[in-house]
A and B are shown apart, each in its own frame.
Chain A
């Protein structure tokens, strides 16, 4: 009797220690970046381009570039990923083939991002001749996000009870009608959440855009999708490791990191809000 309680006490203690370690790491990172970067943040920093070899001025072109490239990513990854998930989960005959496809998709989500970057250079920049551009970089990030979107989409579809599908079919609905009116509306919150999380991850990536379109410094904002662009993660990478006067630009680097983190957290928060609101609207 006594021993059981002791074992339980230490078991829970271990779980708590693990949780607090994780939380502590996260908080230390946030605190450190907040402290060192917070002072840099000003309206000028957010709205102006860098000046004097990036030792002064702001990071607006990088924010703008990240925003544009994320849109391209979303345009590729959201529809393609969702429709693939719908096909795999609702239409495809389940068997060895679909298992193999699923396994491949899961493996793709484990491929290092630099590999996607090189693939993007070959496919989008060279073969399809999109050049180093927003388009190439966005599509590369889109490809990288696809496995996440597909997996999240499938997981969301799996949570919809079969009785919704069968109930609709039994009333003379076609398969597509049953999916469109009785499955997708209820799977949508989960699908969107997974997708936005994937986008947030893509927005913070450096390697896939490094060779496909991100530029060290550009004197003006991109005018079309085939222009090069500046991006927050790449800008941060340069400020932190490649700049000729690293010590001087350190505060700017921390400021950039802070903006990037806030942006990613913002996207994640959006995902949570979307899910919450759709759930409340659709369910009891």
Chain B
């Protein structure tokens, strides 16, 4: 397979103050594929995924080295607008974080801050994104209700819908299922599978089965270093590194 990397890092370093969190990472996330990032707690998975939409910019005292290319263009380039970048690279967080607004206003939030005011078009886009997040049938009669009334799994799907509504090119998932139950998890995994038709997906997970189920490529990180990066079935059946094998067979983690 000869695939185009949608978003790729070149010798990416990342520092919290003086402490180095990521060391010379070279990871290419291919277009319309799912790339999983796995590794033990504290290995830098979340830090890595948050560099891809420059979410770490808001954390004081952090510094980024190397390059991150989105469609071949450095996302730290001076003419790259970080607000625009974040619209193109959507993100779903670890804990569902709906805003204390109605379900409709949650789904419409991204469109509104990007300047869409037309009521009909908002309604259309909200319905489309809620359908894409497999939530529409459950909420279509209660769009005015506060999003906090939804279950955890529904809240997370609402967050996915909210991110999809602004039509991003890349979707980042930072351990999206760590705070929700197995049935809701299955729904979200199914969504991710479907999503790769249209999006480039990067998912951080500490659940190895999840990585095996949903991803095409898997990167294994440890202590901020990339140990192995390959096609998922190769990582899980014939890893080339001893460390990877030890980790996926559950000898540590």
Contacts and interface: CB of A to CB of B under 8 A. Distances in A.
Contacts of B149: 284
A283 interface: yes
A282 interface: yes
B166 A163 contact: no
B16 interface: no
A169 B54 CA distance: 10
Contact of A173 (B53, B91, B113): B113
A97 to B, nearest CB: 13
A164 B97 contact: yes
B110 A169 contact: no
A166 B83 CA distance: 12
Contacts, number: 70
Given A166-B55, A171-B109, A284 B86 contact: no
B55 A172 contact: no
Contacts of A177: 113
B113 A181 contact: yes
Given A93-B60, A94-B60, A166-B55, A171 B97 contact: no
B100 interface: yes
B216 to A, nearest CB: 24
Contacts of B55: 166, 169-170
Given A93-B60, A166-B55, A166-B58, A172 B113 contact: yes
Interface in B185-199: none
Interface string B121-139: 0000000000000000000
Which range holds the interface residue count of chain B? 20 to 34
A249 B204 CA distance: 77
A186 interface: yes
A167 interface: yes
A184 interface: no
B84 interface: yes
Given A171-B109, A172-B87, A284 B148 contact: yes
B100 A282 contact: yes
B97 A172 contact: no
A164 B114 contact: no
Most-contacted residue by chain A among B87, B90, B97, B110 (CB, 10 A): B97
B146 interface: yes
Given A173-B83, A284-B146, A284-B148, A168 B100 contact: no
A161 to B, nearest CB: 8
A163 B166 CA distance: 19
Contact of B110 (A165, A171, A284): A171
Contact of A171 (B58, B60, B90, B148): B90
Interface string A180-197: 011000100000000000
Contacts of B163: 170-171
A272 to B, nearest CB: 21
A174 interface: yes
B129 to A, nearest CB: 11
A166 B146 contact: no
Most-contacted residue by chain A among B109, B146, B166 (CB, 10 A): B109
B236 interface: no
A93 to B, nearest CB: 7
Interface string B65-108: 00000000000000000011011001101010101100000000
Across the A-B interface, give the 4 residue pairs with the lowest CB-CB distance, nearest first: A172-B87, A171-B110, A163-B97, A173-B113
Given A167-B93, A167-B99, 10 more contacts: A163-B97, A165-B58, A167-B159, A169-B55, A170-B90, A170-B93, A170-B163, A173-B113, A181-B112, A284-B149
Interface of B: 53, 55, 58, 60, 83-84, 86-87, 90-91, 93, 95, 97, 99-100, 109-110, 112-114, 146, 148-149, 159, 162-163, 166
16 contacts: A93-B60, A94-B60, A163-B93, A164-B97, A166-B55, A166-B93, A167-B99, A170-B86, A171-B113, A171-B166, A172-B84, A172-B110, A173-B110, A174-B83, A283-B100, A284-B146
